[in-house]
Structure 1
Amino acid sequence: MSMGPGRRPKPKILGPDTSIKEIWNKLSHAIREIQNHNASKLSFEEHYRYAYNMVLYKLERAVEGDRFLRAVKGVWDDHTGSMRKLKDILKYMDKAYTQQQGLPAVYEAGLQLFLSHIVRSSTYPIHNHLIGTLLAQVQLERDGLTIQRSTVADCVDFLIRLDNPERLGGRSVYSTDFEPEFLRRSSQFYRQEAVAQLANADSSAYLRNVERRLSEESDRTAHYLWSNTSGPLQMLLVDELVTPHLQAIMRMPGTGLVAMLDGDRIDDLRRLYTLFLRVPDDAGKDALRLALRDSVEARGKAINESALAAASPLREDEEEKPDVKGKGKAKAPSAGATALAQALRWVQDVLDLKDKFDAILGKAFGDDKQVQASINESFINANQRSPEFLSLFIDEHLKKGSKVKSEEEIDLSLEKTLILFRYLSDKDKFERYYKNHLARRLLYGRSASDDAERGMVAKLKIEMGFQFVQKLEGMFNDMRLSADSTKSFLAFQTKHGPAPLDMSVKVLTASYWPQQIVTASTCTLGEPLAAATQLYQRYYDSRHSGRRLTWQANLGTADVRVRFKARPHDLNVSTHALVVLLLFEETKEDEVLSYSEIKSATDLADHDLQRTLQSLACGKFRVLVKTPKSRDVGPNDTFAFNDGFTSPLARIKIMQIASKIETPKEREETQEMLDEERKHQVEACIVRIMKSRKTMGHNDLVTEVAQQLSSRFQPSTGLIKKRIEGLIDREYLERTSDIGVYRYLA
């Protein structure tokens, strides 16, 4: 008959025929039935009695064990007390007789008698009962019951003091009789506990339990077991609870290492690291290091895939989002703007990921250098465009923009980007992109701070040496000399007559600046531009002899006032755009110029002319009217001056359509130029090494070349072998009679 919870039955002690195992089986069955909502079939009185008796059984075992141990301890105390008195009485015999006859001293003989007649008595089963009771008391405490530790400590103490009769290395009875069985049972207990705990699939709870068990066992050995047991016992715990389950602990879904990292659970991570450190032969640390590396690579792969999703070029005329009057919806970002945003987002995501793991490294892993190495085995180089993205990120922080940045913010951003720069394997590719971006900032006056620009170059110089930044510093020097030349040119005009327009000229040294910057572009400058350049040529020739100026109209900008019907506007345009606009100065109203006529008059290449006409006729501010209307410029189009152009702005900047992010074609061209440069660098390195060594084996030469060039890029073995063959063909090297050995030819 079942009973309600309001009445509590008086428990009855079960008979001796009911085992504790049977009791637990009945209780576990009842627990499962309750969870399955079948409680109506259970007897409350019966199962309450089971639980009562199970607890009572445990308590009785603890009390009975303590009573037995006290009795044994009492016998020991009585015996040793008597032996001390006998020792005093027979002191002279110990001194004059037993020692000479090679016999044990009286007190020692008494201890041996206690061992043989009490502890290891063949008549009474004291030995097994004593060891079993001690082990049972320990197990009861592990199960959560309170025992009399002092009683156990007293019995352990006399087992430690009792020597084996064989005197095997001076080992005590504790070491030979108790400790091995204690460690065996402990191993079995914790092996089973590990399986049960892992079934719960909670890494945090499992690690807390391991930490608790280690602390409990340490406390146990300190209070009532022998201190020498602590080392083997702690090792046993690690062997059973940690070592076999490293991967299981870290891979538990929702609670394992990934979840700990995602949630920044520093306490759990610190506990994981501390426990894994206990695993012998660094197996735990190695497992953690590899798991961290896998986690970083997985997160990095996601960042890379997200950043490379957009790859189209950015058109600068599409940067403006609101319309002119501030009405209507904002213009959706172009594909190019999205690509730039993704590039910048990639760098920021990588920096955030690095900051996250650096914080974890310091707070949870004690700045362990081996663990740090696994985090620093970065995925950065898996993204082939990382040098370009990193340079773009720096470009955005160093140029003038809508967001005002303090010097501290700029410096902090530069310091963080240097961290990523150290991981780049293609530093020479970064140098190429950085040089291009720096050139445009300097030439177009877009740098937010000259000090920040020079500070970044100084940081790169510290990282890579003078050779890496030599051309960058040369670009700064050209800008300084150009500023001085502008002042001198003004003084020259006071003597030789003023130029037809105000002109500021930047003179660039071809070897310092990017090739695409200094490559001559064809452009016929109309009046008054031609007259102004001729005057500057006279000035320059008066100061320098044997130098030739090549005018780069594609890099310049101009401010020009244009009269429209409604009102005049000051336009800021490229020099190419100014050359085109000047063609319409003398045209009649509604007169049109064909694409071919404009091309013939300006001598601009199709690529440059199309970009220029797009910015003037297809952009936001359309000062030219194109027929037919479209976004693209074709060879059959015609153009007319838009005399009816209106705008509320007095000063208008018409930006040249250009790419901030390389197109796939431009990227291929960059890689081709880079590969060509690398060929020469590899050959120069081979010659430099062979010139000093004279003769060298193939494998040694390949290794040395790769090592010397690793600071700039990672040359492949195939590339080095091809350059060696090329040098042999050009008779810089020769093969010797020894297979695989080269000789330098002076």
Structure 2
Amino acid sequence: MSAQRKRNFKIEAFKHRVDLDPKYAEKTWKVLEHAIHEIYNHNASGLSFEELYSDLKGCSSALLSTRARNAYNMVLHKHGEKLYSGLVTTMTWHLKEISQSIEAVQGDLFLDELNRKWGEHTKALQMIRDILMYMDRTFITSSRKTPVYELGLNLWRDNIIRSSKIQDRQLNTILELIHKERTGEVINRGLMRNITKMLMDLGSSVYQEDFEKPFLDVSASFYSGESQQFIECCNCGEYLKKAERRLNEEMERVSQYLDTKTEPKITCVVEKEMIANHMKQLVHMENSGLVNMLVDDRYEDLIRMYNLFQRVTEGLRLIRDLMTSHLRETGKQLVTDPERFKDPVDFVQRLLNEKDKYDKIIAAAFNNDKSFQNALNSSFEYFINLNSRSPEFISLYVNDKLHKNLKGVSEEDVEIVLDKVMMLFRYLQEKDIFEKYYKQHLAKWLLSGKIVSDDAKRNLIVKLKTECGYQFTSKLEGMFTDMKTSQDTMQGFYASQGFEAGEGPTLVVQVLTTGSWPTQPSAACNLPAEILGVCDKFRAYYLGTHSGRRLTWQTNMGTADLKATFAKGQKHELNVSTYQMCILMLFNSVDRLSCKEIEQATAIPSQDLKRCLQSLACVLGKNVLRKVPMSKDIAEDDIFSINDKFMSKFFKIKIGTVTAQKESEPEKQETRQQVEEDRKPQIEAAIIRVMKARRVTGYNSIVMEVTKQLQPRFLPNPVVIKKRIEFLIEREFLERDEGDRKLYRYLA
């Protein structure tokens, strides 16, 4: 099959002149004008739209409708301007007629008529646009005129929407309907949606200028008046409910029949008028404001306040600042109330309860807001450190919870207690004081020989090490090491002596490393001869095994088990302190002794002796001694004797020493002095570290760096830092710079 030859086509101009009817343009326009009138008069069925909507793109092969072809020919023969101007004139005439019909409608039907006419107009525009499609594509594009459909919208805007008799009436009617809806009436939301959509279709500027701006102004006025009315008759919780409801209503209104871009604007109006303008008055409202919500744990109201106030500038800051102020004042009253000092455990428990309360509020009501959590932490740090005895009391709380009350307590509960203790510990600025007190309490329980939860204590030490570093807990860990070493030492001692059970008194010695334990200078208490002989044997064994060491007996820290026989042959086993043992064994040889005679015989310090005698004679159920005269106070001439009438249903009886749960003022001063002495070498070491790194630096820089380094343990006093600098200068570790006396130089 042979290939077909390609044919080349060439379009040539007419070889003869084509003459048009001089009245062609006028006649053609009359036909098109009639078509537009018929469309607006709803007689479009007679316009043969089957042809009218022919595809104009394929005009070379398809039949054009008469009217579309007429419009096409007018543009083709350079009469586009006449066609366009005629369109404007005709559409304007019809819109003025429509305007008059809308204006004539009275009452509630006004918007219905406006909506109906708008629908008709948009349909007419679509038909007209199709007839004039060629003009849209060519003439309007080249002459930069407004397209047909957009032209129809603009003419509707100018002749209808912004008509002097329609514009205000339309706006007022819409605003009146919205007001009715706000006051509880039901309105036609579908109609409202059509009207506002019409305004949006006419252009964002029309919607904003003709509706949105007046709507926002009226809304501001409405909510300003309503909020003032609410603030005068409602409590804070009720007001917040109303504000929340209004806010939700406006957001729903936007979703139903307003432009989505209106939502942030109208919600801003509600937030400003109902929240921002009254938030200070709300949070301080008497008997129902923020403080009352916090005190009464009103979570629902607190959640609502947080959610509403976070929408306005400075709203959350206002809540946070007032919460901080209230918390600091409450905490200050708690930690400075002398009545609270009587029970340190209760003192700390109240702090923990307060912390738990606000942790729950922040989690449940304030969305775990970090800024609120930071405010809570800073508040606790502020008022806990107002009481210089807080470290001591927290240590006593640990002693009570981890040493005394572990019976029947699960590991999970112990862990919770530890975490709470660590939480308070972090707030302490003088953590080294806590360490000193806790070391004393831990020492007491380790030396008591009782089986308590080592795991709980070791767990606390791990947490302290994580928080403050190895150096902070090295001495506490050393105490546990000494207890294990002492067990091995005692096994070696008894093996070397060949002791058997029942042969005289039994001695158990804990050898404590100086520096790790809170050992205090102990008076040379006169031990009974039976005990003194065993002690001498142990001294000889230990010093023979470990050369170069010294042993000092800490009789104030020991305990003893005594077998006692009372009248009528009643036998008991008494667990007592070493001091109490020395006192009781005096009565093996005498019947009556005065307090002064006991002091001379035992050499026990006066204050310790009185406490021991109170424990032995004044505690009901454990009064193995009789005191004359009978009273809680101990005087030098009081007489003591064995209580022959002592009875107890228990065979083993523990007689503790009456001690103050917290330190007395002299003891407190002594502890403080010891802490200050312990701090001196730490401050000096920090100064040396800073100077080694910088070689030459000023006083302020030294203070800042030393404070930063020591802050995990305590806050050093700048005055003390200056004194330690002077001391290091005297010892030739540092020197002042000759050129600038404010600078210090490190001497390598």
| Shorter-normalised TM range | 0.7 to 0.9
**2:583 matched to 1:580?**
yes
Structure 1 residue 159, shift from structure 2 partner? 1.5
1:202 to 2:203 alignment: no
1:95-114 residue pairs with structure 2 within 5 A?
Answer: 95-114=137-156
1:286 match: 317
Which of 330, 333, 344 does residue 299 from structure 1 map onto? 330
Say which SS state the counterpart of residue 445 (structure 1) adopts. coil
Distance 1:110 1:571, change over 3 A: closer
Change (3 A) 1:740 1:125: farther
- Aligned equivalents of 2:512, 2:655: Cα separation in 1: 25
Answer yes or no: is the 8 Å Cα contact 1:500–1:531 preserved in 2.
no
In the alignment, the residues of structure 2 paired with residue 310 and residue 365 of structure 1 have an alpha-carbon distance, to the nearest angstrom, of 31
Q: CA deviation at 1:561?
A: 2.6
1:546-585 alignment, distance < 5 Å: 546-567=548-569, 568-585=571-588
Q: CA deviation at 1:258?
A: 2.5
RMSD between superposed Cα atoms in Å: 2.6
CA distance in 1, matches of 2:723, 2:531: 51
Report deviation, 1:671.
1.5
Output the CA distance in 2 between the equivalents of 1:618 and 1:70. Answer: 99
**1:8-23 map, 5 Å:** none
Corresponding residue for residue 88 of structure 1: 130
Gaps of 5+ in 2: 1-104
Other-structure match for 1:4: none
Deviation (angstroms), 1:98 = 2.5
- Classify the secondary structure of the residue corresponding to 2:136: helix
Shift of 1:619: 4.6
Same amino acid, percent of matched pairs = 41
Structure 1 residue 532, shift from structure 2 partner: 0.9
Structure 1 CA distance, aligned partners of 2:723 and 2:178?
Answer: 73
CA drift of 1:118 comes to: 2.0
| Distance across 1 between alignment mates of 2:107 and 2:239 | 31
Query: How do residues 654-733 of structure 1 correspond to structure 2 at under 5 angstroms?
Result: 654-733=655-734
Please state if 1:183 is matched with 2:185: no
**For residues 692 and 150 of structure 2, what CA distance do their matches in structure 1 show?**
83
**Please, which moves more after superposition, 387-396 or 570-579?**
570-579
Alpha-carbon deviation of 1:717?
A: 3.4
Give me the whole-angstrom Cα distance separating, in 1, the residues matched to 2:183 and 2:172. 16
Change (3 A) 1:615 1:598: same
1:249 — aligned with what?
282
Q: 1:309 pairs with 331, 339, 345, which one?
A: 339
Q: Which amino acid aligns with 2:425?
A: F
Aligned to 2:177: 137
Code of the aligned partner of 1:263: D
Which AA in structure 1 matches 2:300?
D
Of 468, 491, 496, 2:495 maps to: 491
Which of residues 512, 519, 522 is equivalent to 1:508? Answer: 512
Deviation sequence 1:652-683 (CA, Å, 0-9, x none): 43332322211122112111222222233222
Asked if the contact 2:733/2:747 (under 8 Å) is kept, the reply is yes
Shift in alpha-carbon separation, 1:484–1:255, aligned structure 2, 3 A: same
Secondary structure (helix, strand or coil) at the match of 2:142 reads: coil
| CA–CA separation in structure 1 for the residues paired with 2:234 and 2:716 | 47
Aligned to 1:153: 193
Instruction: Give distance in 2, aligned partners of 1:614 and 1:550.
Output: 27
1:8 corresponds to: none
Which sits farther off after the overlay, 694-703 or 733-742? Answer: 733-742
Q: With the length of structure 2 as denominator, give the TM-score of the two structures.
A: 0.80
Cα shift at 1:266: 2.2
Higher relative contact order (CA 8 A, sep 6+): 1
Separation in 2, partners of 1:152, 1:383: 66
2:351 corresponds in structure 1 to 350
Secondary structure in 2 matching 1:99: helix
- Determine the structure 2 residue equivalent to 1:642: 642
Tell me if 1:427 matches 2:460.
no
* 2: CA distance, partners of 1:687 / 1:433: 28
Secondary structure at the counterpart of residue 502 of structure 1: coil
1:367-516 mapped onto 2 (5 Å cutoff): 367-377=368-378, 378=380, 379-400=383-404, 404-446=408-450, 448-494=452-498, 500-516=504-520
Give the conservation status (yes or no) of the 8 Å contact 2:112–2:191. Answer: yes
Correspondent of 2:547 among 545, 548, 570: 545
**In the TM superposition, what whole-angstrom CA distance separates every residue of 1:709-745 from its partner, at most 9, and x where no partner exists?**
1111122333333433443444433333346432222
Give the deviation of 1:499 after TM superposition: 6.5
| Counterpart contact for 1:447–1:453, Cα < 8 Å | no
Secondary structure of the residue that 1:703 maps to in structure 2? helix
In structure 1, distance between residues paired with 2:638 and 2:176: 103
Q: Is the 8 A contact 1:733 1:744 kept in 2?
A: yes
How far did 1:595 drift? 4.8
Q: How far is 1:143 from its partner?
A: 1.3
- Deviation of 1:462 (Å): 1.9
Query: What is the deviation of 1:639?
Result: 4.0
1:375 maps to amino acid? L
Give the Å deviation of 1:625: 4.8
- Answering whether residue 112 of structure 2 is matched by residue 70 of structure 1, we say yes
Distance 1:497 1:224 in 2: 98
Which one-letter code corresponds to 1:370 in the other structure? S
**Counterpart Cα distance in 2 of 1:248 and 1:390:** 39
- Paired residue secondary structure (1:367): coil
1:45-80 per-position Cα deviation (integer Å, ceiling 9, x unaligned): xxxxxxxxxxxxxxxxxx976411111222322333
Deviation at 1:136, TM superposition (A): 1.4
Kept in 2, the 8 Å contact 1:242–1:276? The answer is yes
In structure 2, C-alpha distance between the alignment counterparts of 1:244 and 1:466, rounded to whole Å: 54
What letter corresponds to residue 253 of structure 1 in structure 2?
E
CA contact (8 A) 1:398 1:447 kept: no
CA contact (8 A) 2:235 2:285 kept: yes
